[in-house]
Structures are given as structure tokens and as C-alpha cells.
Amino acid sequence: MLGKLKDYSIIAVGVIAAAALALIALKYLLPVLLPFIIAWSIAAITRAPAERLAEKSRVPERVFRLMLSLLLTALIFGTLALLIWQITAAVWRFLSNFGEGNRLYDIVISLSSSDFSFLGISLPEELAVKINDSLGALLSSALTALADSVREAAMGVPQILFFLLVTVISLIYISLDFERINGFLSSLMPDRARVWLGKIRDGAFTTVKKYIRSYVYLTAITYALMLMGFMLLGIKSAPLVALVVALLDILPVIGVGTVLVPWSILELATGNLFLGIGLLVLFVINTVVRQFSEPKIVGKSLNLHPVATLIMLYAGYSLFGFLGLLLVPLVSVALAVILKKNHPTQVA
């Protein structure tokens, strides 16, 4: 019994140390290696379909791999560009309509003159002035942050273009010489490490596919909830808005609340009680559904109990943030591989 406890303690310490080293490597090496990692990942994804196409024709596999890789890259970056364009267009339409005759515009003008008559109440002059000063400082900070974001985004365009260029060029070379590159990387490792990494890689690849599939299911659930809610609330372009909100829900730092809660407050402030309350109800429903479904769906993909999955998700996010959440499936795979090696009859 003590021997097993010792083994599990060593395994736990090893996994934690490996996760910490992986996070350090991600922090310092990921920005430098990201274009090449993306290129290699895309080439690896297209390897199997390229092999099948090559078997049915006389065209070399590397040609199919290159074509499929470029097509997949164009699809990924094209989809991202389309989403960014649609979001930017929606923001621009909102700002364009922010003029005289707009209810929110009238409220802002009233606040700037310490006039709170739109609330249907009369505030003491001193309190109204203090509220006006606070709102003015808040608005100034928001406009400054918006201007800084726009400036940083504009300054980042050359970097983004250079990033895309390096990614595409490296993708071409990696797709054409995928086997040679893999062989070279493999030759740099000791035999024992190569065997271990091979097991972890195979398990991780399968688990990550299941992990991604589980979040696709969660995103589909969120999209269905948002779409039904937005349609019932009479929101224009409900399918597009629901898609944007559902995609934001994947990110733990942003989430649905970042959109629905400020939107609801804005509608309540402008007197649209039906839409404001409806958005809050929709946010609560989505939060409850997400909290109950995420551990179960993700745990099933990792072959873990929902409670164990919830513990790993919470611990990973609390300790390491978003990167910790992403590393949960990889750590679970590494743990399963080690446990099966040491106790093959006790780990299912």
C-alpha cells in the first residue's frame, strides 16, 4: 500500500513539474515558434487524407499534402478575417447611428449637463454633479482605452501580415518534407524519450481531438440557446450575433457575460426593459447549462468522472489561467500513460 502511494506521489509531482515546465516553455518559446507549430500542425492534420488521395491517383502524396494544407490554412484565416470584419462592421454601424434622435445619445447629453430627468426622478444638485463627474471620468477612460486599442491594432497589422507570411512559407516547406523533418526531430531524442513521447503523442492526439469535439458540442449548445433567445427577443441578425457570442463563450476570460451583461445594462438604461431583462435571463440560463454540461461532456472525452474533470479544469485555470485550461487534456493523457505503464492491471 505504501509502495503504491509512493508511486502515485512521484507521478503527481512529476506531472505537476512537467506542466510547470510546459507553461514556462509556452510563455517564452511559443511566441517565437508559433508560426512553425501552426504550420507543422496543419501538415500533420492533412497527412492522412493526403495519403488516401495519393493511393487513388498517381500524384505524389506531398503534392496533395501541400494543396490540402494551403486550403485548410486559407479556410482558417479566411474565417477569422470574416468574423473580425463582421464584428468591426457591426461596431461601425452602432457608432454611425449614435447621433441625434438616438435614445442613448439623448441620455449621454443629459448626463453631460447633470440632467437626470430621463430617470423620472429629481436628484440633489450636489449628488448629480458628483455622479456626472464620475460618469465623465468613466467615459473618458473608456474612450482612451478604445483609442489605444485602435492604435495598437493598427500598429499590429504589419506584424500580423509578417506572421501570416512566415506561416505560409514554413507550411510549404514542412508539407513538402514532412517525413524528413519528423525524422530529424526524432533523431535528436534518446530512444527511451522517443518511445515515451510517442505514446504520449498518440494518446494526446486522440484526446485533443475528443477535447476539441466536446467544445464544439458546447459551442453548438450555446449557439442554439443564443439563437432561440435572440429570435424571441426580436434582435436583428440573430444568427450572426448568436455565432459571435457562442464563439466568445469558448474563451474563459471573455465568455458570454462580457457581451450580454453590458448589453443588458445598456438596454435597461435606455428604457428597453423587455430586452434588458431578457438578455439577463438568457445569460443566467446559458451559465447554468454551461456549468452543468461542461464537466460532463469534457469528462467523457477525457474518460474522467465529471467531478475529476471539474477539479482539473478549475485547478488548471486558477493556477495557470487560460494556458492551464488548455493543458488539462495533455496532463491527463500523460498521467494515464504513466499509470498504465506502472499499474497496467489497475488502470482502465
- pLDDT tens per residue across span 63-97: 888 888 888 888 888 887 877 777 677 666 655 65
Q: Of 37-41, 129-133, 154-158, give the range with the top mean pLDDT.
A: 37-41
* Length in residues, the chain: 348
pLDDT at 227: 92
Mean pLDDT of 110-124: 52
- pLDDT tens per residue across span 157-211: 788 888 888 888 888 888 888 888 888 877 777 777 677 777 666 666 666 677 7
pLDDT at 101: 47
Q: Which of 247, 240, 239 is nearest to 222 (CA)?
A: 247
When pLDDT is cut at 50, 70 and 90, the band that residue 281 belongs to is: very high
pLDDT at 100: 47
Is residue 112 pLDDT above 80, yes or no? no
- pLDDT tens per residue across span 4-13: 555 556 555 6
Q: Which of 316, 231, 341, 340 is nearest to 278 (CA)?
A: 231
Is residue 218 pLDDT above 70, yes or no? yes
pLDDT at 259: 82
Residue 259 and residue 248 in contact, taking contact as beta carbons nearer than 8 Å: yes
pLDDT at 336: 61
Q: Which of residues 247 and 136 earns the better pLDDT score?
A: 247
Residues whose CB is less than 8 angstroms from the CB of residue 203 and which lie 6 or more positions away in sequence, other chains included: 333, 336, 337
- pLDDT tens per residue across span 254-267: 678 878 888 888 77
- Kindly state the cell numbers that stand for 185: 526531430
Mean pLDDT of 24-33: 74
Percent of the chain whose predicted confidence (pLDDT) is above 70? 57
Any idea what DSSP says for residue 321?
A: T
Is residue 282 pLDDT above 60, yes or no? yes
pLDDT at 200: 66
pLDDT at 3: 56
pLDDT at 70: 87
State the helix-helix crossing angle for 257-269 and 103-112, rounded to 10 degrees.
70
What's the gap between Cα 7 and its chain centre? Answer: 35
Residue 250 and residue 219 in contact, taking contact as beta carbons nearer than 8 Å: yes
Residue ranges of domains in the chain: 208-343
pLDDT at 29: 76
Give the separation between CA 91 and CA 79, rounded to whole angstroms. 19
Is residue 290 pLDDT above 50, yes or no? yes
Mean pLDDT of 120-142: 64
Q: What is the mean pLDDT of the chain?
A: 73
Helix ranges, the chain (H): 2-45, 47-55, 61-96, 103-112, 125-176, 178-187, 191-233, 238-248, 257-269, 273-302, 306-320, 322-342
Residue 307 and residue 335 in contact, taking contact as beta carbons nearer than 8 Å: no
> In Å, what is the CA distance from 308 to each residue of 17, 191, 312, 325, 342?
20, 33, 6, 14, 21
Mean pLDDT of 100-127: 53
Q: Which of residues 281 and 334 earns the better pLDDT score?
A: 281
When pLDDT is cut at 50, 70 and 90, the band that residue 348 belongs to is: very low
